[in-house]
Structure 1
Amino acid sequence: MNSLTACFTHPSSNFFPWLPSLCSRSSLPQNGAFCLQKHATPMNKPFFSSNFICSKLHPVQASSFDLSPPPIDHDFLETAKTAGAEVSDEGIIETFHNDDEALDAVDNGAVVVDLSHFGRIRVSGEDRIQFLHNQSTANFECLQPGQGCDTVFVTPTARTIDIAHAWVMKNAVTLVVSPVTCRIITEMLNKYIFFADEVEMQDITKQTSFFVLVGPNSNRVMEKLNLGDVVGKPYGTHQHFSVDGLPVTIGVGNIISEGGFSLLMSPGAAPSVWKAILSQGTIPMGSTAWEKLRVIHGRPAPGMELTNEFNVLEANLWNSISLNKGCYKGQETISRLITYNGLKQRLWGIHLSAAAEPGSIITIDGKKVGKLTSYTSGRKQSEHFGLGYIKRNAASEGDNVVVQDSINGIVVEVPFLAMQRPLSERSN
């Protein structure tokens, strides 16, 4: 690729109050690497760079950042189209016509996916931590700025609405949710803000871009981009940077795995960040392949596995649930299910012998034991994968089931659900 006119710097607070006043372009890197700057103090200290020299950072107010859409000549979708992407009328990158290659790179390399169509909600105000603590399943009160977690929004009876990936920042909490639930969750949370609560809700989806990096080579990609500071940190840990003065937040893990990374940024920074990641041999992935990956890895989705029909424990979302915090929405039902061992079914992966329709009945010896909720084909024509709820004690990993009367299936543990740690497996 051509020289990347981008300079990554380390801001020192939530919305990057320290911006570079000038980056020298006299010796731009030819390998696409970012200029990562570190500083012991926020002002009046020189920075170092292995690629080119940048000047000092100067303080500005956090509110001065403009997260409005970028000029047309910085439009990321145009950048993707130039690279061969097929983009829907809704602005979603559907495919780069490399779906099989991208799926293979998830296991053997690294892929980058534009998930900017997913919802982003910014929760601010003095009471934001306590508010989210009371309205979702995770323990927000134990988190510090720079940390993160997964949390689940549920109904009062613990039926699932969506999983949110949360970053606790200095002045706000950023939530990443499904495209189909962003409005629902925002409206639901607004209803629970009482008059005296200092909580503000803002949908920042259209004012930001969001990428995820997945695959075993993700750490190497970050290190080559001089972003090794975030490598090896706990899931949800995030740090703030800037590219050409535009904010970028990079977090450990993503919405499908505890490995890899997530990148939240100003849309103006998106083309530079995307090109730099691709320059390290990363494969681009579209939403069609991403949906296949979601099913193969077992990540539940709203309207499929996350509905009013199933509760959060049946969806096996143990990592998102605090078992020792105070009262919160759905807590009474969750506690009762745990106390009385009341789970009736569980979400499983299923290897299928043929294509099957979501909603199909799952049987064993002619008896109904569950329902298929998602289906996808694999990289080969002979590969078929599904997700489905199966009655407790009716089947376990390795057992045979029948789907849709005649399609054979084998119950399997899938990566996203396998990393969940039930109560019996947790230490004190």
Structure 2
Amino acid sequence: MNGSGYHNGEKGASPARPCHVLGEDAGFRILDERMVVRMTGEDRVAFLHGMCSADVKGARPGSILPGLFLTEHAHVIGDFFLWVLEDSLIVETGRTQWPRAREHLERFLVADDVEIEETGLCVLDVEGPKAGEVVSRAGIAEAGALGPWRWAKTPAGFIGQVPRFGAPAWSLLAGRAALEQVGSALACAGAVAIEARALEALRVANGLASVGVDTAEKTIALEARLERAISFNKGCYVGQETIERATARGALKKRLFGLKFAREIAPGAALLLDGREVGRVTSSTVFPGLGAIGLAILHHSAWAPGTVLRAHGENGETAAVVSELPFDNN
């Protein structure tokens, strides 16, 4: 709790109610695990275009793009959302991913006119089917005219419609004090402050991989189904050759799938098919209407939906049924 009356989540609360909120109403949270970087300089567009999977050159001011930083072999370094401004590029990314991503960028930054600044801006996410209605009631008039993947300026910063967890949602970028005031206004308008685990449950239910959670150092972007962050029509960029080969030849041997468990199982559990390990649980949660579910990158021998695996973990073992993504309620 702070002086404005805003509280970022409900400590000790059951995950069931926050998940129902995100399925029926609106919830919000300041995403402390995210950070905001600003890129300026005459060469910023050309440089970032060649360093990521997003079509930066084709983007127009006012747009938001999902993107990936990849190695030469298309292994995932980090993911981000790019907010395109007239005079700069704003990169919203994971706080733990950024040090490696920055090192990767600076390795290629030689004579380019590009400046990289770590800003003090924070990120507030508003999720749920009533998110747009609540944002409007909270007095953020700029949100009303925004379509998906578009942003607008607000007195305190920026607001954009960013479906970061797979459903229509709004993100605000501003200083923390300003976002805490927005949080109080959202609460007065009927939204609920939620914990990180509720957003994690929403992510898993929508079948979206989290970089660093569902991916490892050698995970290829397509193995994690990160296609929404890849432009398949842009020119050359770091990692493109591997992406093109895997797309053209269908050569993937591992891929992200959903799992439906007979009971809860912790991440890290080994997944066995006929006694042979075909993957490990990387994310797991319980979600209304779906029950105990999870994600795993599986060997191609286990890709058929309906395949029954055995999950062996520290908290015991259980059956795990392979599901296509996104999950359905059957």
Q: What is the TM-score with the length of structure 2 in the denominator?
A: 0.89
Q: How far is 1:231 from its partner?
A: 4.1
Which residue of 86, 94, 116 maps to 1:201? Answer: 116
Letter in 1 for 2:118: D
Task: Tell me how far apart the structure 1 counterparts of residues 88 and 247 of structure 2 sit (CA, whole Å).
Answer: 32
- 1:62-112 deviation line (CA, Å, top 9, x unaligned): xxxxxxxxxxxxxxx6247x5565xxxxxxx67373643221111100101
Match of 1:411 in 2: 322
Task: Tell me how far apart the structure 2 counterparts of residues 84 and 112 of structure 1 sit (CA, whole Å).
Answer: 10
Task: Tell me how far apart the structure 2 counterparts of residues 106 and 226 of structure 1 sit (CA, whole Å).
Answer: 21
- 1:249-272 deviation line (CA, Å, top 9, x unaligned): 000124222511000012331232
Moved over 6 A (4+): none
Q: Does 1:399 align with 2:307?
A: yes
Q: How far is 1:385 from its partner?
A: 2.1
Task: Tell me how far apart the structure 1 counterparts of residues 55 and 192 of structure 2 sit (CA, whole Å).
Answer: 36
Match of 2:26 in 1: 110
Match of 2:65 in 1: 149
Match of 1:74 in 2: none
| Alignment: residue pair count | 325
- 1:168-205 deviation line (CA, Å, top 9, x unaligned): 1111111111121122212221222112x11111111x
Task: Tell me how far apart the structure 1 counterparts of residues 10 and 137 of structure 2 sit (CA, whole Å).
Answer: 28
Task: Tell me how far apart the structure 1 counterparts of residues 74 and 113 of structure 2 sit (CA, whole Å).
Answer: 26
Which residue of 83, 101, 122 maps to 1:167? Answer: 83
Which residue of 302, 309, 321 maps to 2:211? Answer: 302
Q: Does 1:387 align with 2:295?
A: yes
State percent identity of aligned pairs.
25
SS at match of 2:222: coil
SS at match of 2:157: strand
SS at match of 1:314: helix
- 1:12-52 deviation line (CA, Å, top 9, x unaligned): xxxxxxxxxxxxxxxxxxxxxxxxxxxxxxxxxxxxxxxxx
Residue pair 1:358, 1:373 contacting (<8 A) in 2 also: yes
SS at match of 1:132: helix
Q: How far is 1:313 from its partner?
A: 0.6
Greater radius of gyration (CA): 1
Equivalent residues in 2 for 1:295-334, closer than 5 Å: 295-334=204-243
Q: How far is 1:294 from its partner?
A: 3.0
Match of 2:38 in 1: 122
Which residue of 181, 188, 203 maps to 2:104? Answer: 188
Task: Tell me how far apart the structure 1 counterparts of residues 288 and 147 of structure 2 sit (CA, whole Å).
Answer: 32
Q: Does 1:339 align with 2:254?
A: no
Match of 1:235 in 2: 148
Q: How far is 1:351 from its partner?
A: 1.5
Residue pair 1:120, 1:182 contacting (<8 A) in 2 also: no
SS at match of 2:48: helix
Q: How far is 1:364 from its partner?
A: 2.5
Residue pair 1:116, 1:208 contacting (<8 A) in 2 also: no
Task: Specify every segment of 5 or more residues in structure 2 that has no aligned partner in the other structure, as ranges.
Answer: none
SS at match of 1:404: strand
Q: How far is 1:212 from its partner?
A: 0.4
Q: How far is 1:389 from its partner?
A: 0.9
Task: Specify every segment of 5 or more residues in structure 1 that has no aligned partner in the other structure, as ranges.
Answer: 1-76, 86-92, 419-428
Letter in 2 for 1:410: V
- 1:129-148 deviation line (CA, Å, top 9, x unaligned): 11111111111111001001
* Inter-CA distance 340–319: structure 2 relative to 1 (3 Å threshold): same
Residue pair 1:121, 1:186 contacting (<8 A) in 2 also: no
RMSD between aligned residues: 2.5
Task: Tell me how far apart the structure 2 counterparts of residues 180 and 378 of structure 1 sit (CA, whole Å).
Answer: 26
Match of 1:270 in 2: 179
Q: After superposing the two structures, state which structure 1 stretch, 220-229 or 320-329, moved more.
A: 220-229
Task: Tell me how far apart the structure 1 counterparts of residues 77 and 269 of structure 2 sit (CA, whole Å).
Answer: 22
Letter in 1 for 2:102: T
SS at match of 1:163: strand
Q: How far is 1:306 from its partner?
A: 2.2
Equivalent residues in 2 for 1:66-105, closer than 5 Å: 78-79=2-3, 95=11, 97=13, 99-105=15-21
SS at match of 1:164: strand
* Inter-CA distance 239–310: structure 2 relative to 1 (3 Å threshold): same
